[in-house]
């Protein structure tokens, strides 16, 4: 059986390319993303699209590289040095990176950066569609390509597209600062599934979406452009067995013996980071300095081994950081070192796997204290490597890994005193406690490994894509409209059941301003002129308003979701209840209104409605929960219904809903054409009671209870106008 194709698109390929003596040479890329994805096992045929990390001198070199890489299922994206400077060093790492890591003061804006970011995302699009088809799974990686999902969706509408963000997603208050915020969000929403490392990042993203784009968000689903986008968290893991079993290699044992000779009997604290201001390197050094000052008994007994991998050496902020790190280490060593002991061993270079793994096995403590980090795999690699079960992990609460590694010594990376005390506690921790903590953490990361991370994401992506296919089938096409039009005209008895707000007319911030316009009135009048056609509007509006808007008696009207109906010139009450209950409920509503700017109460004969369409989304969500919680007991006591609708919470008398109205209409005739259209949860009652052959249409988010869907009231009016032409 042929494997499905998985196309991984990332700025960085799992290998670097170089040309020496006319031949192409490959070397592995650094970084958890490239190495992690490259090592995962899957049932897919993997293809990569990405930058090869070099600039070919001429077209011949390009062709040579392409030929070699295509044989490995890799499509290289060649970029110029200027594009890398503006797109990668510019918008990606000078605008997005600092802002998403909460270093607002370091964020740099330049229109050329944004232009390059858009242009390079389009270049990645061009290379991806050369090899991708609608049957492939396309998995886009990280912040450099946040526009690509939306671009791909336009080119391959039915493709399975996933996106994973490997850095934090900031709070709305920070993200809103970006001038291009809407473009980035809409680009991401081209995916079927968007993944984050933690629930916090996922929550921040959803908050930004419904505040900036004002989209309909339900738990972890966002309705956008006739599609449902799924959002979830997937903590990235490591190749556990690779690190856990590494000590069995002869080469690693050799390095461990070398470290034993080099460091003697000193306790070793290990720090491994890329040079970046988000990693908290200076804070870590100051904490170690403070530790040596306050606990002199540990001098000559413990050393900090600091591995700093060079990064962006040509950027001024990174150059300044490098200088400060060098100076701080020099000051510590000058202050405390003696003839037999060096406090800080400093290596400004990346280490090959064998040396790094040997350090993981040899070090007594891992000090991992980034100021902000999407996940941090170093913490997991250290824990996995501890085959003898000893060792202590000191971990920043600002790293995504803290969610899983709860047995670590958690610290605030900005609190020098707290890090200092954690170092002391780690050094005096009993071996039994070390083993207990390490064992618990190893169980977690062994289970949540790199393969599970990828398998979970890709499995959810396929499910999301399948659900998307089902939803797409419900969208009414032009061919389907033609068929419905034929059925409409061939029928003997037609029943049309319509909601009003959001179905025949747009929502308005002021409900009284949603008056039907002339075009709608003409449309309804023409529908009524079709012989043997009954037109029914079932609305949540009060009957006074509906009477003013639809005076023609040929239209059957149900007000307040069916609490009242018009019979000739009379409005007939369709429920039995007094109005004494309103006083108690009004008090609860009023408390919420006083604390929620932009919200208001609508008083109906059979219901009270709290409207919050003009309220800040986050505040409205909070107040909605508070209101419903306060309503549960009194409504249960008074036998009242609590109903959530589109930007409303309604309390109403029982046994009144649109389903009952529809059932009353069904009894009047043997209808051979039934069309029911609505956009709200209240319309679900109507869809449920109608016969299977009825044409039920949900406006907006597709519904399990409706056979079809249309994106907006405009599409509804367009379809109905087709019926009468």
Rounded mean pLDDT, 33-57? 76
Please report which confidence band the pLDDT of residue 34 belongs to, taking 50, 70 and 90 as the band edges: low
pLDDT at res. 241: 93
Mean residue pLDDT of the chain comes to 91
Q: Round to whole Å and give the CA distance between 376 and 423.
A: 19
Res 429: pLDDT: 97
pLDDT tens-digit map of 306-358: 999 998 877 888 999 999 999 999 999 999 999 889 999 999 999 999 999 99
Q: Identify the structural domains of the chain with CATH numbers, from first to last.
A: 5-233 (3.40.50.2000), 240-445 (3.40.50.2000), 475-574+656-723 (3.40.50.1000), 581-652 (3.30.70.1020)
| 576 backbone dihedrals φ, ψ, rounded to 5° | -125, 115
Q: Looking at residue 56, what is its pLDDT?
A: 83
Query: Half-sphere exposure of residue 67, counting CA atoms within 13 Å on the CB side?
Result: 8
**pTM for this entry:** 0.86
359 within 8 A of 345, measured Cβ to Cβ: no
Interval 277-291 mean pLDDT? 96
Which tokens is 394 given? 């000191």
E strands of 539-637, at which residues?
555-559, 564-567, 570-573, 600-603, 607-611
pLDDT at 578: 67
| pLDDT, average across residues 611-618 | 84
The dihedrals phi and psi of 214, each to the nearest 5 degrees, come to 55, 45
Q: Best-predicted range by mean pLDDT among 260-264, 408-412, 473-477?
A: 408-412
Give catalytic status of residue 499 as yes or no: yes
Average pLDDT over residues 629-652: 88
Q: Around Cβ 78, how many Cβ atoms within 10 Å?
A: 16
Q: What are phi and psi for residue 412, nearest 5 degrees?
A: -85, 115
CA atoms of 332 and 592, how far apart (whole Å): 58
Q: Band of the pLDDT at 264, cuts 50, 70, 90?
A: confident
**Nearest alpha-carbon partner for 472 in 723, 149, 192:** 192
Decide if pLDDT at 32 tops 70. no
Question: Looking at per-residue confidence, does 199 or 35 come out higher?
Answer: 199
- Among 418, 629, 414, 648, smallest CA distance to 511 is for 648
Q: pLDDT tens-digit profile of 206-216?
A: 999 988 998 87
CB neighbours of 503 closer than 8 A, spacing ≥ 6?
Answer: 677, 678, 679, 683, 699, 713, 716
**Contact partners, residue 69, CB within 8 Å, separation at least 6:** 17, 52, 75, 76
pLDDT, residue 470, reads 83
Pairing mode, strands 673-678 and 494-498: parallel
Please determine, for residue 2, whether its predicted confidence score (pLDDT) is greater than 90: no
pLDDT of residue 613: 85
- What's the half-sphere exposure (Cβ side, CA atoms, 13 Å) at 184? 25
**What pLDDT is stored for residue 38 in this prediction?**
58
Per-residue confidence band for 33, with pLDDT thresholds at 50, 70 and 90: low
What is the average per-residue pLDDT within 572-583? 78
Between the alpha carbon of residue 579 and those of residues 305, 428, 585, 590, the distances in Å are 76, 71, 11, 17
Which stretches within 132-168 are classed as H helix? 148-155
Contact 620, 596 (CB under 8 A): yes
483 CB-near residues (< 8 Å, 6+ apart): none
Q: Are strands 673-678 and 708-710 parallel, antiparallel or unpaired?
A: unpaired
- pLDDT beyond 70 at 450: yes
Handedness of CA 282, 287, 288, 292 (dihedral sign): positive
Phi-psi region of 598 (alpha: psi -120 to 50; beta: other; left: phi over 0): left
Cα 43 to Cα 79: distance, rounded to the nearest angstrom: 31
Return the pLDDT at 172: 93
For 444-504, the DSSP string reads HHHHS-HHHHHHHHHHHHHHHHHHHHHHHHHBPPHHHHHHHHHHHHH-SSEEEEE--BTTT
User: What CA–CA distance (Å, rounded) separates 435 from 390?
Assistant: 5
Reported confidence tier of residue 41, pLDDT bands at 50, 70, 90: low
H-run or E-run covering 60: helix 59-70
E-state strands within 539-663: 555-559, 564-567, 570-573, 600-603, 607-611, 641-645, 648-652
Give the span between the Cα atoms of 673 and 70, in whole angstroms: 57
In what helix (H) or strand (E) does residue 7 lie, and over which residues does it extend? Answer: strand 5-12
Whether residue 273 is predicted with pLDDT greater than 90 in this model: the reply is yes
Residue 130, pLDDT above cutoff 90: yes
DSSP 3-state of 698 = strand
Residue in 273, 276, 289, 499 annotated catalytic: 499
**265, pLDDT greater than 70:** yes
Cα–Cα distance measured from residue 28 to residue 34, given in angstroms and rounded to the nearest whole number: 9
Give DSSP secondary structure letters for 323-336: HHHHHHHHHHHHHH
Q: What percent of the chain has pLDDT over 90?
A: 71
User: Predicted confidence band at 115 (pLDDT cuts at 50, 70, 90)?
Assistant: very high
8 neighbors 137 (Cβ within 8 angstroms): no
Average pLDDT for residues 105-117, to the nearest whole number?
Answer: 95
pLDDT for res 274: 93
pLDDT in tens, 73-106: 999 999 999 999 999 999 999 999 999 999 999 9
Q: Closest by alpha carbon to 120, among 94, 156, 169, 81?
A: 81
Determine contact, residues 720/503, Cβ cutoff 8 Å: no
Q: Given a cut of 80, is residue 443 above it in pLDDT? A: yes
Q: What is the pLDDT of residues 485-520, one digit of tens each?
A: 999 999 999 999 999 999 999 988 777 788 999 999
CA distances from 249 to 252, 324, 594 (A): 6, 37, 69
> Taking a C-beta distance cutoff of 8 angstroms, is the pair 387, 247 a contact?
yes
* Res 226 pLDDT > 70: yes
Cα–Cα dist 188/201, whole Å: 14
Which region among 68-72, 78-82, 453-457, 467-471 has the lowest average model confidence (pLDDT)?
A: 467-471
Mean pLDDT of 43-49: 88
- Smallest CA-to-CA distance from 392 within 327, 302, 472, 290 is with 302
Element (H, E) at 244: helix 240-244
Q: Report how far residue 402's alpha carbon sits from residue 586's, in angstroms, rounded to the nearest whole number.
A: 45
CA 117 to chain centre: 21
pLDDT tens digits for range 682-705: 899 999 999 999 999 999 888 889
Give the tens place of pLDDT for each residue, 370-394.
Answer: 999 999 999 999 999 999 999 999 9
- How many CB atoms are located within 10 Å of the residue 62 CB? 15
pLDDT at 461 over 80: yes
What per-residue confidence (pLDDT) applies to 688? 94
Residue 440: pLDDT band (50, 70, 90) is: very high
Distance CA 514, CA 541 (A): 11
């Amino acid at each position: 059986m042929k494997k499905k194709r998985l196309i991984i698109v990332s700025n960085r390929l799992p290998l670097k390319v170089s040309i020496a003596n006319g031949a192409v040479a490959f070397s592995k890329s650094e970084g958890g993303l490239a190495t992690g994805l490259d090592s995962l096992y899957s049932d897919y045929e993997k293809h990569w699209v990405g930058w090869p990390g070099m600039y070919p001198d001429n077209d011949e070199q390009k062709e040579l590289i392409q030929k070699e890489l295509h044989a490995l299922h890799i499509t290289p994206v060649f970029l110029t040095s200027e594009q890398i400077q503006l797109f990668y060093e510019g918008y990606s790492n000078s605008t997005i990176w600092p802002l998403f890591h909460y270093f607002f003061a370091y964020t740099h804006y330049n229109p050329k950066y944004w232009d390059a970011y858009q242009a390079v995302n389009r270049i990645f699009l061009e290379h991806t569609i050369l090899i991708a088809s609608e049957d492939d799974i396309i998995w886009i990686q990280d912040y450099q390509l946040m526009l690509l999902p939306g671009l791909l969706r336009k080119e391959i509408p039915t493709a399975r597209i996933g996106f994973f963000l490997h850095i934090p997603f900031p709070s709305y208050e920070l993200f809103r600062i970006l001038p291009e915020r809407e473009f980035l969000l809409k680009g991401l929403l081209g995916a079927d599934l968007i993944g984050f490392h933690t629930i916090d990042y996922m929550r921040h993203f959803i908050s930004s979406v419904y505040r900036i784009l004002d989209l309909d968000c339900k738990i972890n689903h966002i309705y956008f452009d006739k599609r449902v986008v799924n959002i979830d968290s997937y903590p990235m893991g490591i190749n556990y067995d690779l690190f856990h079993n590494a000590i069995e290699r002869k080469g690693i044992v050799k390095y461990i013996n070398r470290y034993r000779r080099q460091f003697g009997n000193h306790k070793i604290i290990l720090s491994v980071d890329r040079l970046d201001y988000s990693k908290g390197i200076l804070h870590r050094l100051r904490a170690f300095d403070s530790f040596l000052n306050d606990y002199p008994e540990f001098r000559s007994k413990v050393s900090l081994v600091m591995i700093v991998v060079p990064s962006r050496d040509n950027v001024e902020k990174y150059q300044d950081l490098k200088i400060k790190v060098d100076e701080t280490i020099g000051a510590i060593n000058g202050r405390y070192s003696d003839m037999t002991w060096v406090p800080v061993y400093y290596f400004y270079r990346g280490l090959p796997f064998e040396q790094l793994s040997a350090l993981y096995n040899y070090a007594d403590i891992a000090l991992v204290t980034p100021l902000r980090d999407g996940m941090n795999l170093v913490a997991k690699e250290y824990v996995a490597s501890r085959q003898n079960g000893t060792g202590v992990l000191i971990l920043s609460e600002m790293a995504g890994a803290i969610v899983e590694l709860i047995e670590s010594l958690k610290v605030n990376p900005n609190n020098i005193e707290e890090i200092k005390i954690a170092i002391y506690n780690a050094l005096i921790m009993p071996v039994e406690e070390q083993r207990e903590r390490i064992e618990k953490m190893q169980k977690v990361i062994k289970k949540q490994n790199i393969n599970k991370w990828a398998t979970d994401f890709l499995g959810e992506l396929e499910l999301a894509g399948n659900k998307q296919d089902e939803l797409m089938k419900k969208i009414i096409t032009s061919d389907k409209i033609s068929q419905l039009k034929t059925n409409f005209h061939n029928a003997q008895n037609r029943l049309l059941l319509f909601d009003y707000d959001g179905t025949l007319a747009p929502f308005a911030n002021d409900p009284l301003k949603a008056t039907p316009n002339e075009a709608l009135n003409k449309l309804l009048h023409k529908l009524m002129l079709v012989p043997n056609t009954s037109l029914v509007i079932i609305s949540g509006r009060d009957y006074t308003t509906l009477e003013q808007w639809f005076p023609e008696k040929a239209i059957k009207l149900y007000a307040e979701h069916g609490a009242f109906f018009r019979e000739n010139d009379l409005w007939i009450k369709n429920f039995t209840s007094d109005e004494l209950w309103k006083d108690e409920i009004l008090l609860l509503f009023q408390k919420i209104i006083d604390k929620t700017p932009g919200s208001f109460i609508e008083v109906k004969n059979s219901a009270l409605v709290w409207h919050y369409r003009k309220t800040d989304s986050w505040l409205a969500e909070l107040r909605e929960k508070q209101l419903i919680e306060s309503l549960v007991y009194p409504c249960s006591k008074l036998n009242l219904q609590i109903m959530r609708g589109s930007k409303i919470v309604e309390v109403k008398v029982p046994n009144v809903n649109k389903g009952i109205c529809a059932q009353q209409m069904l009894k009047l005739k043997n209808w051979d054409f039934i069309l029911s259209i609505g956009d709200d949860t209240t319309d679900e009652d109507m869809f449920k009671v109608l016969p299977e052959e009825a044409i039920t249409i949900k406006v907006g988010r597709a519904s399990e209870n409706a056979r079809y869907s249309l994106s907006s009231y405009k599409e509804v009016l367009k379809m109905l106008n087709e019926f009468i032409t």
